[in-house]
Amino acid sequence: MATSNILPNYLLLLFFLLFYFSASTAIDIQIHHSTPPSSADSPLSSILQLARSADPARLSLLFSQKKTSGGTSVPIASGQNLLQTPSYVLRASLGSPPQALLLSLDTGSDSAWLPCSPCSSCTPAAPPFSPSNSSSFSPLPCSSPLCPLLNAASQPPCYAPSSSPCSYSQSYADSSFTAALSRDSLRLALDVIPNYVFGCVTSVAGPTIPKQGLLGLGRGPLSLLSQTGDLYKGVFSYCLPSYKSYYFSGSLRLGPAGQPHYARFTPLLKNPHRPSLYYVNMTGISVGRVKVVVPGQPGAFGFDPATGAGTVVDSGTVVSRFTAPIYAALREEFRRQVNASGAGGFSSLGVFDTCFSTDEVGATPPITLHMDGGVDLTLPVESTLIHSSATPLACLAMAEAPPNVNAVVNVLANLQQQNLRVVLDVANSRVGFARELCN
């Protein structure tokens, strides 16, 4: 009789321990979008403003970047709701004692940087980090081997004696900033990362510098993955909430633990000219059941490291862009199918050139992105269309790549990544996608 009572208790204890240890290895860092839509703004007007004001500079930044054990999850939120910026942000802290931060999540950047006190021309969204109030803060000298990583060899960042601080200037989109390379203790959820290297921004020029600072999630030597080594084992993922979300309901999940087992993976490619960016090989696009054909260009979707052509997964660009031939073919097939359902014509609005009556939204065909490895990413309607609450209008939420250095690149942007778990498994050279509701 005693034995029969002990066994259920033992199993209960075992279940508790398994639950405890599995849960303790995957703590979410929530994500939020940095700028909320005001009550007077429709989703269309908010996205249109971001696509017009932020995306051109963002795309310029993205492709100017040339070669030079357990899991933790951090909450992510829409920056529209908090800071009036087009990025997604997460909570972190820096220093001893810790000072609270909001940092932009950026897969297209390598290093971390944030406004420090004092800072010339800075307009931080929150009190800037105060190095003098942190006992663990230390500036890096010009003699540090990390100092030359921030500028091209022809433009070394230090012109002072080797014992002087490593001061450097860096461009970001159409703006720039000056910072001192520094170290301090970074906290992400329950993890403490000592001696984390970041830029302590002391002056800013231009309007597009993130007011709250930035956490670089690229593949460079000063990125989060490079600095944490075995802690996160070269794996992270994120789920971005809707632009309309007011809460830290998304998450940045660091490390292999807790990643979705049902994710579908495609190979992660590397462009030697832009090694920090996350390239995948998109093999085609379908509208409804029709495979889009790009006339005269059978290799239109291919990855070419020599030219930079291919498809990049990016958390910072708002609206997905496709090369001119691909976008023209996609748009025409989309219009053909919407017209077939009885729509009365199309109009343009800003970067969106395929807007139509919301009466036809119910018949809108799905769009599927095909990638190597058998990945078929079908976009939900909320990631395909953007609606206006002021007029009976909906627009195809995609656009043509700008006619410049970016003209050969497709960008899978954050509007098309909402409520999608994107897994960047750098250690195993693969990118995964899994549906996840994170609003």
Q: What is the pLDDT of the chain when averaged over all its residues?
A: 83
**Other Cβ atoms within 10 Å of 21 Cβ, number:** 10
Whether residue 106 lies in the annotated active site: yes
Coil, strand or helix: which one is 36?
coil
CATH superfamily of 264-435: Acid Proteases (2.40.70.10)
Whether residue 314 lies in the annotated active site: yes
* Confidence at residue 174, expressed as pLDDT on a 0 to 100 scale: 77
Question: Which listed residue (28, 110, 314, 425) is catalytic?
Answer: 314
Question: What would the pLDDT profile of 199-233 be if each residue is shown by its tens digit?
Answer: 999 999 887 777 788 999 999 999 999 999 889 99
Please choose, from the candidates 247, 238, 254, 132, the residue with its C-alpha nearest in 3D space to the C-alpha of residue 188.
254
- On whether the pTM is more than 0.95, the answer is no
* Confidence at residue 42, expressed as pLDDT on a 0 to 100 scale: 56
* Confidence at residue 251, expressed as pLDDT on a 0 to 100 scale: 93
Question: What would the pLDDT profile of 9-47 be if each residue is shown by its tens digit?
Answer: 443 433 333 333 333 344 468 877 665 544 445 555 556
Coil, strand or helix: which one is 47?
helix
Question: Which listed residue (55, 106, 110, 425) is catalytic?
Answer: 106
Ranges for all domains in the chain classified under CATH 2.40.70.10: 26-42+69-254, 264-435
Report cis status (omega within 30 of 0) of the bond before 256. no
Higher pLDDT, residue 179 or 126: 179
Higher pLDDT, residue 363 or 177: 177
Q: Which amino acid is at 396?
A: L
* Confidence at residue 4, expressed as pLDDT on a 0 to 100 scale: 46
Half-sphere exposure of 214 (CA within 13 A, CB side): 27
Q: How far apart are CA 99 and CA 93, in angstroms?
A: 5
Query: Percent of the chain scored above 70 by pLDDT?
Result: 78
Question: What would the pLDDT profile of 185-202 be if each residue is shown by its tens digit?
Answer: 999 999 999 999 999 999
Please choose, from the candidates 412, 356, 414, 342, the residue with its C-alpha nearest in 3D space to the C-alpha of residue 385.
356
Q: How far apart are CA 100 and CA 102, in angstroms?
A: 7
Asked if 216 and 62 touch (Cβ cutoff 8 Å), the reply is no
User: Burial level of 288, CB count in 10 A (0-12/13-18/19+)?
Assistant: middle
Question: What would the pLDDT profile of 98-142 be if each residue is shown by its tens digit?
Answer: 999 999 999 999 999 999 999 888 877 678 999 999 999 999 998
Q: 26-42+69-254 maps to which CATH number?
A: 2.40.70.10
